[in-house]
């Protein structure tokens, strides 16, 4: 998958992708135990194309590289790659890429009685209340997070 940078912002870099290439990768047919190890069984021959598995709406899907730590406790850290689907409708609790007063940010959407908040996942940051005066747009919904473990 080839990424093409389409926009750079202080908190996110945005990329479009070329999804025309099919890349079938082998998959462990029996799964991998996250608890106690289990005896290996006969491997089935399975494969997976990450483009097909992770992207449901190719024309509306973009990638964003995270800069910063405001979503650290949600498992989103500096350098992570977000898969963002612009065709999805935002719901309470979604993690979204939002455009607020001229800046992009990634936060969790929180609907509270008559107010909308953008919630960080790091105690060092404050929730952001969206007001009628805010220049605000939910740009897209984060559908997957690609995180490098080291």
Spot the catalytic one: 2, 17, 107, 134. Answer: 107
11, 69 Cβ separation under 8 angstroms? no
Spot the catalytic one: 2, 70, 86, 91. Answer: 70
Q: Is 73 helix (H, G, I), strand (E, B) or coil?
A: helix
HSE at residue 14, side-chain half, CA atoms within 13 A, is 21
- Determine whether 70 is an active site residue: yes
- Determine whether 134 is an active site residue: no
CA angle 77, 79, 84 (to 5 degrees): 85
Distance CA 78, CA 97 (A): 15
* Catalytically annotated residues: 70, 107
């Amino acid at each position: 998958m080839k990424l093409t940078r389409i926009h750079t912002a202080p908190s996110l870099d945005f990329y479009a992708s070329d999804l025309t290439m099919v890349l079938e990768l082998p998959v462990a047919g029996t799964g991998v135990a996250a608890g106690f190890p289990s005896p290996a069984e006969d491997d089935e021959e399975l494969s997976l194309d990450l483009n097909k598995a992770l992207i449901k709406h190719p024309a509306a899907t973009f990638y964003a590289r995270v800069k910063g730590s405001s979503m650290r406790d949600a498992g989103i850290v500096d350098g992570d790659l977000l898969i963002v689907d612009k065709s999805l409708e935002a719901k309470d609790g979604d993690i979204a890429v939002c455009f607020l007063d001229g800046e992009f940010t990634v936060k969790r959407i929180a609907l509270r009685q008559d107010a909308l908040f953008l919630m960080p996942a790091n105690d060092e940051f404050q929730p952001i209340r969206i007001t009628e005066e805010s220049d605000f747009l939910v740009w897209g919904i984060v559908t997957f997070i690609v995180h490098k473990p080291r």
